[in-house]
């Protein structure tokens, strides 16, 4: 995406929706060619596995929300989770940094490894997990504190207090927010616009130097221009972080992700609905040459 | 009938009855609301009319005159009420806030529900029962004391603070809790650094409302701090005078001057409680608006 001009991509978003599947597909293909040029045919080549999922299922009070997920998420790539609502993509994302611990009745089975270590093994401290695997939420959730204190929150928490000012500045620069806020670091984070708040939340997550950043539809509550900035930011961050981004917007996945995982809803004979991973492939391949017909139906707009 | 009857405006017996019932209902509800305001106004006006004449500087700065003499003020009672209510506040704020935190952050849903019922029951226990409980526990064998009185008052105040604080904590959006924890904060740390600062206005409000209630309580003091001197006492191991008991005792006195004192003391108490109530409501509205913004 960063090789396109801003006006091009914005006009494209404005026309998204309500157009024929062929047009979407044709444009996706044009984008894909561009992505392919950026990443080569196989973006996973030579990248180590950061998160490994083996037969992962998440259930709430015994009802499975997503099951049978097998995938490897590799270092310094952006992986997008796409799929219709109810397919368990957010649920799965939240199990990658133990945020599901907070939901009563939520249970994760199967094995999730982080650099080979079982995330859910006995003795694993969820605090250490979340320190290394940060998260950005669907709606901006800055604390009702100053801009500075929001970014410094995690730093203070983890005793990273040396050069606090420098660390805060670095995080705000990484989140492309420094220029807008450096003159008012002491004013309330709630005085920022929605898009700025979301970038502040990204800065807050980056400040503690995580390895992985999970983003749960980070732009879904934002206007197109703010969305654009978040996407540009994700593109910038891909060099230093492993990013997993849930999105309901296929164009967004196509624009920002190296790898894309398509989830769908499996309806059992009993009527029980459960999310499943249909296909996990390089984004270019998934959008242009999907190997599963359900993926093809979804990316061409015939379903979902 | 003519064909031009408008079915939407036609009046039947049914429609008349329906309309009448609506009017009666609205009138009754309005009357009840007016009644509440009128009662409040009558109480405020009559207490003010009877109490105001006795209020002057001496009333606040002098102790009651010795027996068979007139004059003096209620300095000892004001100081006593401030000390005892203050101590009760120091006890009940931490306990009440911790109960609220337990309920919203740590308790399983069923336990929290049980706690809520228990707190409501505790809030409904007649205060005379609380008074006799503290009497049996702390006064028998030890004598009356301001400490015993404060404990009695705090039993009244704790459920108020706990329930009101819990309501405010529940208003704090769950996304803020998740935000803290996603950065690696423990649950307890998130409570202290994110949730309590967000809810602090509401906790202050809860405290003010509870203090207003505690300052006016009489029954818990009857058994615990009613045999008091006509002078300012600051030793918490002794009984202290209080505004509610001064009202109670002086209103039963045959002396007209004492009765005057009772009315004036009632006015002081009422004014204090009303002012605290208004401040509490105003702060509470402000907090709610602030939390709404954080959503």
- Whole-complex ipTM: 0.79
Q: Which residues of B touch A201 (CB under 8 A)?
A: 179
Distant-in-sequence, close-in-space partners of A180: CB < 8 Å, separation ≥ 6: A196
pLDDT given for residue B247 in this prediction = 93
Q: Report chain B's terminal Cα–Cα distance, integer Å.
A: 61
User: Inter-chain contact A144–B294, Cβ cutoff 8 Å?
Assistant: yes
Q: Distance from B210 to chain A by nearest Cα, in Å?
A: 26
Cα–Cα distance list, A296 to A139, A303, B51 (Å): 30, 9, 85
CA distance B201 to chain A (A): 13
Cβ–Cβ of B182/A102 closer than 8 Å? no
User: CA separation (Å) from B248 to B79, B253, B272?
Assistant: 17, 9, 18
* Predicted local distance difference test score (pLDDT) of residue A19: 53
For residue B110, list chain A residues with Cβ-Cβ distance below 8 A.
none
Closest CA in chain A for residue B193: A153
pLDDT in tens, B250-259: 899 888 888 9
CB B269 within 8 A of CB B247: yes
For B244-263, letters b (16+ CB in 10 Å) and e give bbbbbbbeeeeeeebbbbbb
Residue A16 structure tokens:
């998204």
Confidence band (pLDDT; 50, 70, 90) for A20? low
| A112-116, A289-293, B4-8, B81-85: the lowest-pLDDT one | B4-8
- For residue B47, name the pLDDT band (cuts at 50, 70, 90): very high
Place of tokens 């002057």: B56
The answer to whether residue B111 neighbours chain A at the CB level (below 8 Å) is no
Cβ neighbours of A128 in B, within 8 Å? 184
Reply yes or no on whether the pLDDT at A15 is more than 50. Answer: no
Residue B290: per-residue pLDDT: 77
Among A192, A174, A172, residue whose Cα is nearest residue A182: A172
Lay out the sheet containing A49-60: strands in order across. Answer: A117-118, A106-114, A49-60, A63-74, A273-282, A259-267, A78-82, A242-246, A212-216, A133-136
Q: What is the pLDDT of residue A35?
A: 63
Residue A8 has pLDDT above 80, yes or no: no
* Conformational region of residue B68, where left means phi above 0, alpha means psi within -120 to 50, and beta covers everything else: left
Give yes or no for residue B118 having a pLDDT over 90.
yes
pLDDT at A16 exceeding the cut of 80: no
What is the per-residue DSSP string for chain B?
--TT--TTT---HHHHHHHHHHHHHHHHHHHHHHHHHHHHHHHHHHHHHHHGGG-SHHHHHSPBPPTT---B--HHHHHHHHHHHHHHHHHHHHHHHHHHHIIIIIS-HHHHHHHHHHHHHHHHS-HHHHHHHHIIIIITTT---HHHHHHHHHHHHHHHHHHHHHHHHHHS-HHHHHHHHHTT--HHHHIIIIIHHHHHHHHHHHHHHHHHHHHH--HHHHTTS-S--SS----TTS----HHHHHHHHHT-S-HHHHHHHHHHHHHHHHHHHHHHHHHHHHHHHHHHHHHHH-
pLDDT at A5: 44
Q: Shortest Cα distance from B207 to chain A (angstroms)?
A: 22
Residue A3 has a pLDDT of 45
Q: How many angstroms separate the CA atoms of A88 and A245, rounded?
A: 13
Q: Identify the residue among B109, B182, B292 best suited for mutation to test binding to A, counting A beta carbons within 10 A and taking the highest.
A: B182
Q: What is the pLDDT of residue A177?
A: 93
Beta strand A242-246 pairing with A78-82: parallel
Nearest residue on chain A to B108, alpha-carbon basis: A104
Nearest CA in chain B to A208: B183
Q: Which of A131, A141, A158 sits opposite B176 (nearest CB)?
A: A141
The confidence score (pLDDT) of residue A24 equals 60
> Mean pLDDT over all residues of chain A?
86
Greater confidence (A303 vs A194) lies with A194
State chain B's mean pLDDT as an integer: 90
Residues of A with CB under 8 A from a CB of B: 97, 99, 102, 104, 127-128, 130-131, 134-135, 137, 139, 141-145, 153-154, 157-158, 190, 201, 204-205, 208
For residues A95-100, average pLDDT:
92
Please judge whether A104 and B108 are an interchain contact, meaning their C-beta atoms are less than 8 angstroms apart: yes
**Residues of chain B contacting A220 with CB distance shorter than 8 Å:** none
Cβ-nearest to B176 among A104, A143, A204: A143
Task: Give the percent of chain A with pLDDT over 90.
Answer: 57
Q: How many percent of chain B have pLDDT more than 90? A: 62
Mutate to test the interface with B, among A157, A191, A202, A213 (most CBs of B within 10 A): A157
Going by pLDDT thresholds of 50, 70 and 90, the confidence category of residue A261 is: very high
Alpha-carbon torsion A187, A191, A196, A201, what sign?
Answer: positive
> Of the candidates B161, B126, B131, which has an alpha carbon nearest to the alpha carbon of residue B148?
B131
pLDDT in the model for residue A140:
93
Q: How far is B28 from B46, CA to CA, in rounded Å?
A: 26
Region A224-237 average pLDDT: 90
Say whether B182 and A143 touch across the interface (CB within 8 A).
no
Which residue of chain B is at minimal alpha-carbon distance from A204?
Answer: B183
**Which among A97, A104, A143 has CB closest to B179?**
A143
For residue A109, name the pLDDT band (cuts at 50, 70, 90). very high
Is some CB atom of chain A closer than 8 A to the CB atom of B287?
no
Beta-carbon separation of A141 and B178 below 8 A:
yes
Instruction: Give the pLDDT mean for B51-62.
Output: 90
For the residues A48-75, what does the mean pLDDT come to? 93
Question: Is the CB of B108 less than 8 angstroms away from the CB of A99?
Answer: no
pLDDT bin (cut points 50, 70, 90) of residue A1 is very low
Report pTM: 0.79
Yes or no, beta carbons of A144 and B198 under 8 Å apart: yes
In terms of Cα–Cα distance, which of B244, B95, B63, B231 is closest to B163? B95
What does the DSSP 8-state code read for residue A238? Answer: T
**Nearest beta carbon to residue A97 from set B182, B189, B194:** B182
pLDDT of B268 reads: 95
For residue A137, pLDDT over 80 is answered with yes
Closest by Cβ to A137, choosing from B179, B185, B186: B179
| Separation between Cα atoms, residue A16 and residue A11, nearest integer Å | 9
Nearest CA among B229, B221, B265 for reference residue B88: B221
Residue B7: pLDDT band with limits 50, 70, 90: confident
Closest CA to B149 of B224, B229, B90: B224
In the block, tokens 């450096």 appear at A182
CA distance A100 to A109: 12
The neighbouring-strand residues paired with A273 are: A267
Segment B132-156 shows an average pLDDT of 92
Contact A48, A72 (CB under 8 A): no
Cβ-in-10-Å burial (0-12, 13-18, 19+) of B107 comes to middle
pLDDT surpassing 90 at residue B151: yes
Of A24-28, A271-275, B20-24, B204-208, the one with minimum mean pLDDT is A24-28
3-state secondary structure of A11: helix
Check pLDDT > 50 for residue A168: yes
**The pLDDT of residue A14 is above 60:** no
Tally of CA atoms within 13 A in the half-sphere of A47 that contains its CB: 24
Q: Do B183 and A157 make contact, defined as CB atoms within 8 angstroms? A: yes
Tell me the torsion sign for CA atoms A113, A115, A121, A125.
Answer: negative
Q: Is B109 on the interface with A (CB under 8 A)?
A: yes
Distance between CA atoms of residues A151 and A154, nearest Å:
7
Q: Tally the C-alpha atoms within 13 A of residue B179's C-alpha that lie toward its C-beta.
A: 29
Tell me, yes or no, if B292 comes closer than 8 A to chain A by beta carbon. Answer: no
Predicted local confidence at residue A115, as pLDDT: 94
A201–chain B nearest CA distance, Å:
9
Confidence of residue A13 (pLDDT cuts 50, 70, 90): very low
Q: Which residues of B touch A190 (CB under 8 A)?
A: 293-294
Cβ A303 vs Cβ A294: under 8 Å: yes
pLDDT digits (tens, 9 = 90+) for A239-249: 899 999 999 88
Nearest to A233 by CA among A196, A262, A208: A196
From the number of C-beta atoms within 10 Å of its C-beta (0-12, 13-18, 19+), residue B23 rates as exposed
The residues, any chain, with a CB within 8 Å of residue B21's CB and separated by 6 or more, are none
Mean pLDDT of the A151-180 span = 93
Cβ proximity of B228 and B149 under 8 Å: no
Contact A208 B183 (CB under 8 A): yes
Substitution target in A103, A141, A152 with the highest count of B β-carbons within 10 Å is A141
Chain B positions touching A137 (Cβ under 8 A) are 175, 178-179, 182
- Residue B142 neighbours by CB distance under 10 Å: 11
CB contact under 8 A, A204 and B183: yes
């Amino acid at each position: 995406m960063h090789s396109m001009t801003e006006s091009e991509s914005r006009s494209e978003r404005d026309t998204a929706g309500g157009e024929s599947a062929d047009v979407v597909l044709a444009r996706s293909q044009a984008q894909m060619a561009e992505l392919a040029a950026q990443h080569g045919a196989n973006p996973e080549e030579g990248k180590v596995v950061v998160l490994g999922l083996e037969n992962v299922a998440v259930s709430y009070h015994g009802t499975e929300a997503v099951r049978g997920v097998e995938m490897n998420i590799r270092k310094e790539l952006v992986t997008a989770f796409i799929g219709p609502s109810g397919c368990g993509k957010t649920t799965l994302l939240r199990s990658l940094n133990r945020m599901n611990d907070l939901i009563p009745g939520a249970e994760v089975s199967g094995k999730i490894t982080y650099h080979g270590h079982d995330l859910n093994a006995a003795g694993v401290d969820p605090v250490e997990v979340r320190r290394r695997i940060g998260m950005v939420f669907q709606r901006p959730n800055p604390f009702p504190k100053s801009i500075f204190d929001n970014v410094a929150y995690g730093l203070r928490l983890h005793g990273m207090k040396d050069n606090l000012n420098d660390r805060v500045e670095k995080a705000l620069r990484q989140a492309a927010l420094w220029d807008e806020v450096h003159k008012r670091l002491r004013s309330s984070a709630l005085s920022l616009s929605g898009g700025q708040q979301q970038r502040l939340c990204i800065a807050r997550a980056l400040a503690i130097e995580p390895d992985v950043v999970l983003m749960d539809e980070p732009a879904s509550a934002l206007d197109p221009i703010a969305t654009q900035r978040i996407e540009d930011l994700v593109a910038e961050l891909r060099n230093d972080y492993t990013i997993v981004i849930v999105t309901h917007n296929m164009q967004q996945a196509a624009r920002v992700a190296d790898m894309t995982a398509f989830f769908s809803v499996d309806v059992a004979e009993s009527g029980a609905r459960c999310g499943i991973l249909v296909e996990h492939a390089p984004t270019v391949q998934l959008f242009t040459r999907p190997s599963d017909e359900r993926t093809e139906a979804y990316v061409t707009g015939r379903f979902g | 009938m003519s064909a031009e009857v408008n079915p939407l405006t036609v009046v039947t017996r049914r429609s008349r009855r329906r309309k009448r019932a609506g009017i009666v209902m609205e009138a009754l509800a309005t009357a009840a609301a007016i009644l509440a305001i009128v009662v409040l106004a009558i109480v405020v006006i009559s207490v003010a009319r009877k109490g105001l004449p006795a209020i002057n500087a001496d009333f606040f700065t002098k102790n009651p005159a010795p027996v068979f003499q007139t004059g003096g003020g209620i300095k000892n009672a004001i100081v006593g009420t401030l000390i005892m209510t203050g101590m009760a506040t120091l006890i009940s704020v931490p306990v009440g806030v911790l109960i609220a935190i337990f309920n919203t952050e740590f308790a399983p849903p069923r336990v929290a529900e049980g706690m809520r019922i228990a707190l409501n029951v505790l809030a409904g226990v007649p205060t005379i029962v609380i008074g006799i409980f503290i009497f049996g526990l702390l006064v028998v064998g030890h004598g009356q004391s301001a400490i015993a009185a404060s404990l009695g008052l705090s039993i009244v105040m704790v459920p108020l603070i706990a329930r009101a604080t819990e309501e405010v904590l529940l208003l704090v959006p769950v996304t803020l809790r998740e935000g803290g924890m996603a950065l690696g904060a423990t649950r307890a740390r998130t409570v202290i650094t994110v949730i309590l600062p967000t809810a602090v206005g509401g906790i202050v409000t809860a405290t003010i409302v509870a203090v207003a209630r505690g300052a006016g309580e009489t029954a818990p003091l009857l058994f615990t701090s009613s045999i008091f001197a006509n002078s300012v006492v600051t030793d918490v191991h002794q009984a202290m005078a209080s505004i509610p008991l001064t009202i109670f005792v002086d209103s039963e006195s045959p002396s007209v001057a004492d009765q005057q004192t009772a009315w004036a003391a009632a006015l002081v108490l009422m004014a204090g409680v009303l002012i605290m109530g208004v401040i509490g409501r105003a702060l509470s509205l402000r907090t709610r608006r602030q939390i709404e913004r954080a959503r």
